[in-house]
Amino acid sequence: MTTTSGTTPSVRLERVTKRFGDLTAVRELTLDIERGEFFTLLGPSGCGKTTTLRMVAGFEEPSEGQVLLDGTDVSGLPAFKRATNTVFQSYALFPHLNVEENVAFGLRRKGVARKEAARRVSEELERVGLAREAKRKPRQLSGGQQQRVALARALVNLPTVLLLDEPLGALDLKLRKGLQVELKRIQREVGITFVYVTHDQEEALTMSDRIAVMNQGVVEQVDAPEAVYDRPRTTFVAGFIGVSNLMPGVAGPVSAGATELKLDSGVTLSTPGNGYASGERVWAVVRPEKLSVALVEEPAPTGRPSVEGLVESSLYLGTATQMVVRLPDGVTMTVLVPNADETERQRLPGAGARVRLSWATDHMHVVRESQVEEPETTPQEGLSSERA
């Protein structure tokens, strides 16, 4: 019952499956969340992240598998007996109670004396900066204030795990950015394990210690933000986290610790890792900002893999220029060139130009297909669903 670091995990999910009728929302999920960790469940809507959270909170019971909190199996334990607290998506503040009463609710139910509760409530309200709003009703508060009340209401109980279900989803972008920072600050301050559910990859990357990317009830990858971004393991993760360029190909024989990779566009590359079966279908991923673009007439850079293609469009984005390049096999690649220098930008090839895209071997990453079939989602669609 220990993680690799040797301590009891704050939350452990063991082969947890949740079915609603014919629908399997979560499939054989195994996960350890360490004490004091800011852990994010990231994925598109319907991926099972909220269901997972609700099973930890006790609102849902797993169909199979176990949920352990601090090493104790909590199966069958109702929500009100679990040492978790939740910040709900739309806060779920009690409309008939004022801010103070909302925050005091959990303490009073736990039997904390009125006086002691009042003290802790005012401390907590102080912390979230709402001391002056103590007597107001929730509907008299702004969205951001309501969010803070929800946070205070949960944190005041000093839960071992704080569960946050898209807590910033209803706020506008500017407010969200501010609260992201604040949430992170508070989490560091109180040292409580945060399990954070979001569909916003940027939010996840900003705040988390670790991210679990979920898709169709399955965790595709659990890693630190940089790893998830730079070294996605599956096409889904690659697509969901930022715009990714996926070049399909087939793994070849392994030689000297490197695998030969034959891309569908005709280029043959060598990639460090191994473990791919010969003939296995894989994808080479390069992030748009890691690609260099040059006209085919120019000499090919040495020591850098490259592919040729046709510029379909070129879009000025202010800080960068975004080009879409179609490879011979029909795959489109997105290239992001920072607008560091105006004359350099002027010289960039326009639509219709034949170009060569090249990258450093380090920046290329080979992924397998997602564990779950998702034929319709191209990387571009993954991006749009994030913003939705």
Partner 1 sequence: MAFVRRHRGILPLALLLPGLAWLIIFFALPLYYQGKISLEVGSIFNGFHFNWHFKTYTDAWSAYRTQFLRSFWFAGLSTVLSLLIGYPLAYAIAFRAGKWRNALLLAVILPFFVTYLVRTLAWETILDDSSPLVSFLQTIHVISPHGRVLATTGSVVAGITYNFLPFMILPLYASLERIDDRLLEAGADLYGNRRSVFWKITLPLSMPGVVAGVLLTFIPAAGDFVNATLLGSPNQTMIGNVIQSRYLELNDYPTAAALSFTLMFIILVMVALWAKVAGTDALMGTEASAT
Residues of the shown chain interacting with partner 1 in the complex, contacts defined by CB under 8 A: 57-59, 78-81, 84-86, 88-90, 92-96, 105-106, 109-110, 136-137, 139-140, 153-154, 157
Number of helices and strands in the chain (H, E)? 10, 20
Q: Given the complex with partner 1, which of 93 and 348 has the nearer CB atom?
A: 93
Residue 360 Cβ vs partner 1, minimum distance, rounded to whole Å:
49
Cα(233)–Cα(379) distance, rounded to whole angstroms?
14
CA angle 340–346–348, rounded 5-degree value = 85
Q: Given the complex with partner 1, which of 88 and 322 has the nearer CB atom?
A: 88
Residue 231 Cβ vs partner 1, minimum distance, rounded to whole Å:
36
Residue 56 Cβ vs partner 1, minimum distance, rounded to whole Å:
11
Residue 84 Cβ vs partner 1, minimum distance, rounded to whole Å:
7
- 141 touches 103 (CB < 8 A): no
Q: Given the complex with partner 1, which of 154 and 348 has the nearer CB atom?
A: 154
Residue 108 Cβ vs partner 1, minimum distance, rounded to whole Å:
9
Cα(159)–Cα(79) distance, rounded to whole angstroms?
12
Residue 8 Cβ vs partner 1, minimum distance, rounded to whole Å:
23
Burial 42-61 (b: 16+ CB within 10 A, else e): bbbeebbbbbbbbbbbbebe
Q: Given the complex with partner 1, which of 86 and 314 has the nearer CB atom?
A: 86
Q: Given the complex with partner 1, which of 144 and 232 has the nearer CB atom?
A: 144
Residue found under tokens 């109670």? 97
Cα(105)–Cα(96) distance, rounded to whole angstroms?
12
The pair of three-digit structure tokens given for residue 211, joined into one six-digit string: 């991210």
Q: Given the complex with partner 1, which of 110 and 119 has the nearer CB atom?
A: 110
Residue found under tokens 């879409």? 324
Q: Cβ–Cβ contacts within 10 Å for residue 71, how many?
A: 12
Question: What is the number of residues in the chain?
Answer: 388
